[in-house]
Structure 1
Amino acid sequence: MLPATVLAFDIETVPDVDGARRLLDLEGLDDRAVGEILFTRRRQATGSDFLPHHLQRVVAIAAVLRHEGQVRVWALGGPEAGEAELIRRFFDGIERYAPVLVSWNGSGFDLPVLHYRALVHGVQAPRYWDTGEDDQSFRWNNYLSRYHQRHTDLMDVLGAYQARAGAPLDEVAVLLGLPGKMGMRGGDVWGAWLAGEIGAIRDYCETDALNTYLVYLRFELLRGRLDPAGYEAECERVARALAADGRPHLAAFLRRWRGGAG
């Protein structure tokens, strides 16, 4: 049986150009130029242009929520929502539902980024940070401890907590017969952001959250919390939700996954 409430999530980020202007005295340069300076400095320092967590700005957070037998897929806030609002909505959802959080590499990327950005914006999240001081049950199962299950980082768990055993979500999803990446990849987000394509970024983020949730269902089958019939029922629940939603990117996800089953 699944937990009462499950929230699978994913974030998309771009360089924090405003922060970089303050840190590196880059006032007067446009966003594209500041971003290129950040990428260049990072490549020179590490050989990779993957920016450190505290210099990432959150531009989309997508969620798949299973609650009271219903499944919902959406990107938090509206396309015009600022970073602070997105992060506040994410942690408000935890405050309201106390869900089991599900991610792919959330411990390594998504949550540390959200920590830093919540700090920048002064976003409060008391339930998320509770380790038993307010709720004794959180002492033994909280969001912060690596080996607790209130946050299930699927990449970490399936890789037996070994960094060298980590795998890309896209590849694991495809191996399971899921759509994997659709529309873009993580490296495309900065260019899409500069082009004003926030809608495409949000759609992409939603499909990544969907892949994550469906891998989670297979994981729950793997460890026996779902039997085969229960697993199929949960997949059908997701398929019905996608069919009822009707948005083109979710309809495309459904077709690729289930051949249009609804």
Structure 2
Amino acid sequence: MAAPVVVFDIETIPDAQAVRAAGLADPGLDDDATIAQAQVRRKEQTGSDFLPVVCQRVLVVSCLFRDPHKGLKVHSFVDHGGQEGAVVQGFYRIVDKHEPQLVSWNGGGFDLPVLHYRGLVHGVQANKYWDMGEDDREFKWNNYISRYHTRHLDLMDLLALYQPRANAGMDVLAQLCGLPGKLGMDGSQVYDAWRQGQVDAVRRYCETDVLNTYLLYCRFQLMRGGIASPQAYDDEIALVRQTLAEWGATEPHWAEYLQAWHPPEPSKA
């Protein structure tokens, strides 16, 4: 993995203004009532109260950076109130500056479409991200937008061979691979946590999700030969564990993750 890798995940909450624009609730209701009514109607129609992508707004974007020369880092962009545009711009600024290998779990199906719509709403700039060969010829053959290109690797989509019926949840795969999986909450609890002022708890949850995704990406790289040997894979896992121990001194969710992560089985088949 010679190029910088950025694993990303977002957490969203319903946007009452978008719900009204989409006509999913009766006019004249306040924000809470608008969202509540739309959720009830959505559940009656689909069995889930999760509102459409266009009705989501970004609360957190978490990014895990893996640079072969700079180690491992995690950074989150968080909307503490009226900062959504800056949160979305922060993510795209990373892409434009570093041109990393982007990795996600269902990023093509959810995270990136949300970021596209909210970037459009807020006038965000993302020149390199949207380059499909107009400015850089290399991006014609491998860009962030095309589904079958790998500059953005949606690991869920690829492992399912681009067949939605074969999609698997990240939490399930993480646990099957000996990882802790989701900690603290799941996506269905984010809106309630935000309403209770627990934005930092949402941020911690999102960060552990990007770590799960990175570790699954490492296993994929071992399988495809991107990590050259089982020993190189074991070395990478050792680095992650050492880094988590350091982070855990100031951020308790990393100590919790490390404690829940049982010693790995040998990587040899």
TM-score (normalised: structure 1): 0.93
Q: Which structure has more RCO (C-alpha within 8 Å, separation ≥ 6)? A: 1
Q: Which has the higher helix share?
A: 1
Q: Distance in 2 between matches of 1:46 and 1:79?
A: 31
CA–CA separation in structure 2 for the residues paired with 1:164 and 1:26: 34
Q: Partner amino acid for 1:248?
A: P
Partner of 1:42: 42
Residue matched to 2:258? 254
Q: Secondary structure at the match of 1:86?
A: helix
Distance 2:3 2:121 in 1: 32
Q: Following superposition of structure 1 onto structure 2, how do residues 208-247 of structure 1 map, counting pairs within 5 Å?
A: 208-226=209-227, 227-246=229-248, 247=251
2:58–2:79: 8 Å Cα contact kept in structure 1? no
Once the two structures are TM-superposed, the CA of residue 150 in structure 1 deviates from its matched residue by 0.4
Aligned to 2:7: 8
Residue 102 of structure 2 is aligned to residue 98 of structure 1:
no
1:66 corresponds in structure 2 to 66
Deviates more, 1:246-255 or 1:208-217: 246-255
Unmatched runs of 5 consecutive residues or more in structure 2: 264-269
Distance 1:39 1:14 in 2: 12
- The answer as to whether partners of 1:3 and 1:100 remain within 8 angstroms in 2 is no
Q: Determine the C-alpha separation between the residues in 1 that align with 2:252 and 2:59.
A: 21
CA deviation vs aligned residue, 1:113-154 (integer Å, no higher than 9, x gap): 111111111101010000011111111110011111100001
What one-letter code is carried by the residue in structure 2 that aligns with 1:176? C
Q: State the alpha-carbon separation in 2 of the partners of residues 48 and 190 from structure 1.
A: 14
Q: Give the alignment's Cα RMSD to 1 decimal.
A: 1.8
1:203-254 deviation per Cα after TM superposition (whole angstroms, max 9, x unaligned): 0000011100100000000101111111111112222222222210011111
Question: Mean Cα displacement is larger for which, 36-45 or 149-158?
Answer: 36-45
Distance 1:26 1:118 in 2: 27
CA contact (8 A) 1:177 1:257 kept: yes
| 1:181 counterpart residue number | 182
| CA apart distance, 1:22 | 4.8
**Could you give the per-residue CA deviations for residues 50-85 of structure 1, whole angstroms, max 9, x where no partner exists?**
211110011011111012241002212474572111
Shift of the 79–3 alpha-carbon distance from structure 1 to 2, 3 Å rule, reads farther
Amino acid at match of 1:197: Q
- Cα drift, residue 41 of structure 1: 2.6
The letter for the 2-side match of 1:163 is P
Distance 1:252 1:74 in 2: 18
> How far apart in 2 are the matches of 1:22 and 1:212?
34
Structure 1 residue 28: Cα displacement: 5.9
Query: TM-score, with normalisation over the residues of structure 2?
Result: 0.90
Q: Contact (CA 8 Å) 1:21, 1:34: kept in 2 or not?
A: yes
Percent of aligned positions with the same letter in both sequences? 50
> Hey, what's the Cα distance between the residues in 1 that align with 2:174 and 2:143?
27
SS at match of 2:50: coil
Instruction: Please give the per-residue CA displacement for 1:172-205, whole angstroms capped at 9, x wherever unaligned.
Output: 0000001101000110011101111101000000
* Unpaired stretches in structure 1, ≥5 consecutive residues: none
Could you tell me how far 1:26 is from its partner in structure 2? 6.2
| Aligned residue in 2 for 1:150 | 151
CA contact (8 A) 1:156 1:166 kept: yes
Please state whether the residue corresponding to 1:102 is helix, strand or coil: strand
What count of residue pairs does the alignment treat as equivalent? 258
Q: Quote the Cα distance in structure 1 between the aligned partners of 2:155 and 2:13.
A: 24
Task: Tell me, yes or no, if the aligned pair for 1:217 and 1:231 is still in contact at 8 Å.
Answer: yes
Alignment match, 1:195:
196
